[in-house]
Amino acid sequence: MSFTEQIKKAGLTENEAKVYEALLELGARPAGSLSRKTGLHRRAIYDVTDRLIKKGLIGYIVENGTKLFSASNPKRFIEILDEERGQIQSVLPNMIEIFNSAKEKQKEDTQFFKGKEGLKSVFEDQLAEGKEILILGGSPMAYEILEYYFVWFDKKRAKQKIKTKIIFDEKLKEKRLSIPLAEIRYLPEKYSSPLAINIYGDKVAIILWSKENPFVIVIKNKDISEGYRKHFEMMWKMSKDN
């Protein structure tokens, strides 16, 4: 992954990331230099620098009538996250109250999630549920789509003392994954599938690990989750341990 791609993950657009990276490398530079370095038109440079100045990620000085832009300390990204976190925390209690009220009215429901952020929402729901997670059909594709996310997820899960049982695709055996609070078994490669099923509490998450269009269906229903749980236990007995 390029440095620009990594910066984009901090919440910048592609052009903002290009300009910020250029200023980190070059130091104080005028718009013309940034245009040549990034390949962006001068007008686009001014639009991007205006946005970055508002975010506090760059500043400028005027020297001999020329505006020179320079990158702020990268620690500013942490400050931005803290500011955003503070804003969210101020409204979070009311959001949770509304969410819980709606859930109480709707004891049984089905939800659909798409994309990487949708996948993350479902895994974070598993942490919020706080109960043992059963995973049937752990796919290698999961670790390609959410390459770094599962390190964070497993640390958080272990901290909450949430246990998990996983029946992995046999292809993952060679990775020798170290997963805390986990019992792991493997299914023969002939049963390999991009489809996985996560069972937690009264919910079942059916996940399609597709690189182009990953999506999840989450069903909240006690009878359905119990049915899948029994199916998992049957597959657990059939699968191989380490």
Q: Write the burial class of residue 211 (CB in 10 Å: 0-12 exposed, 13-18 middle, 19+ buried).
A: exposed
Task: Please name each of the domains of the chain with its CATH number.
Answer: 3-76 (1.10.10.10), 106-238 (3.30.870.10)
- Cβ-count burial 214-232 (b if 16+ within 10 Å, e if not): bbbebbbbeebbeebeeeb
Instruction: For residue 133, give the H/E element and its range.
Output: strand 133-138
Contacts of 99 (CB under 8 A, 6+ apart): none
pLDDT interval class at 157 (50, 70, 90): very high
pLDDT digits (tens, 9 = 90+) for 84-115: 888 888 888 888 887 777 666 655 678 999 99
Average pLDDT over residues 213-226: 92
pLDDT interval class at 43 (50, 70, 90): very high
Q: 132 in helix, strand or coil?
A: coil
DSSP string, 33-93: HHHHHH---HHHHHHHHHHHHHTTSEEEEEETTEEEEEEPPTTHHHHHHHHHHHHHHHHHH
- Report the C-alpha gap between 84 and 42 in whole angstroms: 31
- Give the residue from 129, 138, 137 showing the smallest Cα distance to 200: 129
| Least confident interval from 35-44, 58-67, 164-173, 203-212 | 164-173
Q: At what angle do helices 14-26 and 42-54 cross, to 10 degrees?
A: 90
Average pLDDT over residues 217-235: 92
Average pLDDT over residues 139-153: 86
pLDDT of amino acid 106: 58
pLDDT of amino acid 103: 66
pTM over 0.85: no
> Average pLDDT of the chain?
87
- Report the C-alpha gap between 181 and 165 in whole angstroms: 9
More reliable by pLDDT, 6 or 19: 19
Instruction: For residue 3, give the H/E element and its range.
Output: helix 3-8
pLDDT of amino acid 105: 61
DSSP string, 152-216: HHHHHHHHTT--EEEEEEGGGGGG----TTEEEEEE-GGG--SEEEEEETTEEEEEE--SSS-EE
| Least confident interval from 20-34, 137-151, 172-186 | 172-186
CA angle 90, 92, 95 (to 5 degrees): 130
